[in-house]
Chain A
Amino acid sequence: MWMYFFKRLMHGIPVLLTVATLTFGIMHMVPGGPFDTEKKLPPEIIANIEAKYHLDKPVWQQYLLYMKQILQGDMGPSYKYIGRDVSDIILEAFPVSLTLGLCAVLITIGLGVPAGVISAARRNSWVDHSCIFAATLGISLPSFVLGALLILLFSHQWHLLPPALWEGPKHVLMPAFALGAGFAGYIARLTRSTVIEVLGADYIRTARAKGLSETTVLIKHALSNSITPIVSVMGPLTAGLVTGSFVIEFIFSVPGMGNFFITAVTNRDYPLIMGVTLVYAVLIVLANIFVDLIYMKLDPRVSLTGQRT
């Protein structure tokens, strides 16, 4: 188990290296720099600024320097938030995004799994049809449309919830729901189809023949055997939540990484863009390893070498 974990971790390193190199390359291809201003600065000042941020050195030196810094956990100073390090900004913003993401996952699973199970249990009934319909609606509704709609109704119309900022549990509800609802649609459909498949299995007939109640059969036998496919989409789900957070944090003015990323892109704050991108890459690599580990625990047929039988 631990061997496998380390092996997977090692596989993640080339991915991260590629990401770091690519972002570095992209940022250096960009026309125009962060210090281009309307007014022409005196050449000495430009030289000073460039020396401070090592922009006067040849590109390969900058690259090596950058890689060395990253390995030490130092992502350099932000170009726009003067006097602040990228690492500080990320450390401050990360817990916010993490809270939002975890709440969204709770909503996704809390809505999606029950809806899928109920749908499967009442297959082809009106309950099933309305669940599928709701799931398709959820999948098709862009999160910013849902977010705007929520703000319009709950903040501006009924004055129940705050429309923005991040100051307490009340501020988490709407962004988490807007972020999680769409994915709940995917989870609901996935759960439905796997549970339907499992319900056709022989051991379900055995369980029913033993006289177990339908609820026990559903929860204990069907759902617990349908959990593996649901776990396997948690990796892509993490990636989806990351990109989803850009928009949601933008709409609800949540001071998380997504919001900083958007601002950094508009400001051409390259160290911050690169830093946030790297953190996302690490997050996604870790999420995938984590999912594979759970997968392995749940399904004995998945062997330790990572070969799925």
Chain B
Amino acid sequence: MFAKMSLPSKLSAVFLLGLILCALFAPWVAPYSYETQDTLRTLAVPDGTHWMGTDRLGRDVFSRMIYGAQISLFIGVFTTLVALVIGTIYGAVSGYVGGRTDNVMMRIVDVVFALPDLLMIILIMVVLGRGLWGIFLALTVVSWVTVARLVRGEVLRIKEFAYIEAARAIGASHTRIVFHEIMPNILGVLIVTLTFRIPVAILAESTLSFIGLGIAPPVSSWGTLANDGWTAIKFYPHLILFPSLAIFLTILSFNFLGEGLRDWLDPRKTH
């Protein structure tokens, strides 16, 4: 599988793997803790001791970036996973049962869909307050609907196939048909969706944190680091460049990886 992917997809996979390992083993990878202050060298430019310089409190930016990766990746991966599970179950039930139930269930989805994601997230966060769990919940609430729509469409398509009828004819239960006959057929689509939705979540979190409505201190993500750098952009541009670069490269890598996976899973496309 890996050998068949394009060069950008391969590089992306390697980059993301490295990033995840760095985030997981942050205390061992980071040269300093995320709050250690080097009070003699505040706002230092990058050099041998501080690879990405220091911020206004003299904290090592490189170390803070690695701890920030924990938060950014956690939000990206886990909100998407939770949304995927909820959306898949919801969409599968809606599509499989059909009729009135489907109608009512999709109306609810339409309501969540009516407003743009970021607007909804901000409104929900007004209630829940800033912070890791607020953003986690808000992101989940808006992202499961996309998955639900997609899965419903797939289920509607697949349930008409002859082999489903055959399964029904030999007396398979509904649960069996959904989980053993239909699900394996949409697994590929789900994996690709997961890869494409993670960067969307990462982008949403970093954008919110950047405008000061996301993660609250002392926890910091790449978005809050970029916000810190934003206030000093004129004289200390390195403070915003590194977090921005990290966000950009991560989103780019997920997109390349998603494309690679999609091409690989798409039987019509030969490489």
Known: A156-B233, A239-B116. A247 touches B244 (CB 8 A): no
Complex contact A247–B211 (CB within 8 A): yes
Q: Which of A243-296 contact B (CB under 8 A)?
A: 243, 246-247, 250-251, 261-262, 265-266, 268, 273, 277, 280-281, 284-285
Residues 248-268 of B, flagged 1 when their CB comes within 8 A of A and 0 if not, give 100110011001000000000
User: Chain B residues with Cβ under 8 A from A151's Cβ?
Assistant: 233
Return B253 CB to nearest CB of chain A, in Å.
8
- For residue B114, which residues in chain A have a CB less than 8 angstroms away from its CB? 15, 18-19, 281, 284-285
Complex CA distance for A284 and B115, rounded to whole angstroms: 8
Using known A-B contacts A239-B116, A247-B210, A281-B114, determine if residue A265 contacts B252 with beta carbons closer than 8 Å. Answer: no
How far is the CB of B153 from the nearest CB of chain A, in Å?
15
Choice from A18, A137, A148, A250 contacting B240 with Cβ under 8 Å: A148
CA distance A284 to B119 in the complex (A): 12
A-to-B contact residues, CB < 8 Å: 15, 18-19, 22-23, 26-27, 29-31, 136-137, 139-145, 148-149, 151-152, 156, 239-240, 242-243, 246-247, 250-251, 261-262, 265-266, 268, 273, 277, 280-281, 284-285
Judged by a CB distance under 8 angstroms, whether B71 is at the interface is no
A105 to chain B, nearest CB (A): 16
Asked if residues B244 and A26 are in contact (CB atoms below 8 Å), the reply is no
Smallest CB-CB separation from A276: which chain B residue? B119
Bound Cα distance A212, B203 (Å): 46
**CB-based nearest A residue for B122:** A265
Residues of A within 8 A of B201 (CB): none
- B80-98 contact mask (Cβ, 8 Å, vs A): 1 or 0: 0000000000000000000
Closest to B125 in A: A265
Q: Inside 8 A of A30's CB, which chain B residues have their CB?
A: 126-127
Contact, CB under 8 Å: B127 / A26:
yes
B195 at the interface (CB under 8 A from A): no
Chain B residues within 8 Å of chain A by Cβ, number = 36
B234 on interface, CB distance cutoff 8 Å: yes
| Docked-complex contact B126 and A243, CB < 8 angstroms | no
Closest CB-CB distance, B99 to chain A, in whole Å? 19
Q: A18-B111, A26-B124, A273-B123 are in contact. Are A142 and B203 (CB under 8 A)?
A: yes
Which residues in B have their C-beta under 8 angstroms from that of A246?
118, 122, 207, 211
Interface string of B208-226 (1 = CB under 8 A from A): 0011110000000000001
Q: 17 A–B contact pairs at CB < 8 A? A: A26-B123, A31-B129, A136-B252, A136-B256, A136-B259, A140-B199, A142-B203, A142-B206, A142-B247, A144-B210, A145-B226, A151-B233, A250-B211, A261-B122, A268-B126, A273-B126, A284-B115
A225 CB to closest chain B CB (Å) equals: 22
Task: Pick the residue among B111, B230, B255 that contacts A140 (CB under 8 A).
Answer: B255
* Least Cβ–Cβ distance between B18 and chain A, in angstroms: 18
Tell me, yes or no, whether B102 is within 8 Å of chain A by CB.
no
A23 CB to closest chain B CB, in angstroms? 7
Q: How far is the CA of A151 from the CA of B233 in the complex (A)?
A: 9
Known: A18-B114, A240-B116, A277-B119. A144 touches B126 (CB 8 A): no
Residue of A nearest to B124 (CB): A26
What's the dominant secondary structure at chain B's contact region?
A: helix
Instruction: Find the A residue at minimum CB distance from B203.
Output: A142
For the complex with contacts A136-B259, A239-B116, A243-B116, 11 further pairs of A-B residues with Cβ separation under 8 Å are A27-B126, A140-B255, A142-B206, A142-B244, A144-B206, A148-B230, A152-B237, A156-B237, A262-B211, A281-B115, A284-B115
CB proximity of A150 to chain B, nearest CB, Å: 11
Check: B117 CB closer than 8 A to any chain A CB. yes
CB neighbours (8 Å) of B247 from chain A are: 142, 145
Contact between chains at A140 and B240 (CB < 8 Å): no
Q: Is the CB of B115 within 8 A of A19?
A: yes
Bound together, the chains give a CA A117 to CA B251 distance in angstroms of: 26
Asked if A280 and B115 make an inter-chain contact with CB atoms under 8 angstroms apart, the answer reads yes
- Enumerate chain A residues within 8 angstroms of B230, measured Cβ to Cβ: 148, 251
Give Cα A196–Cα B4 distance, bound, in whole angstroms: 24
* 0 or 1 for each of B132-166: is its CB under 8 Å from A? (1 = yes): 00000000000000000000000000000000000
Chain A, Cβ-Cβ closest to B230? A148
Report the separation of the CA atoms of residues A141 and B250 in the bound assembly, to the nearest whole angstrom.
10
Contacts of A15 in B (CB 8 A): 110-111, 114
Tell me which residues across on chain A come within 8 A of B255, comparing CB atoms.
136, 139-140
CA distance A234 to B126 in the complex (A): 29
A301 to B226, CA, bound (A): 49
Closest B residue to A27 by CB, please name it.
B126
Residues of B contacting A141 with CB < 8 Å?
248, 251-252
- Cross-interface CB contact of A280 among B116, B207, B240, B248, cutoff 8 Å: B116
Q: Are B252 and A140 in contact (CB under 8 A)?
A: yes
Q: Are B207 and A247 in contact (CB-based, < 8 A)? A: yes
Please, which residues of chain A bring their CB within 8 A of the CB of B233? Answer: 148, 151-152, 156
Task: State the CA gap A200–B131 with chains docked (Å).
Answer: 52
Which of A19, A137, A142, A268 has the most CB atoms of chain B within a 10 A radius of its CB?
A142
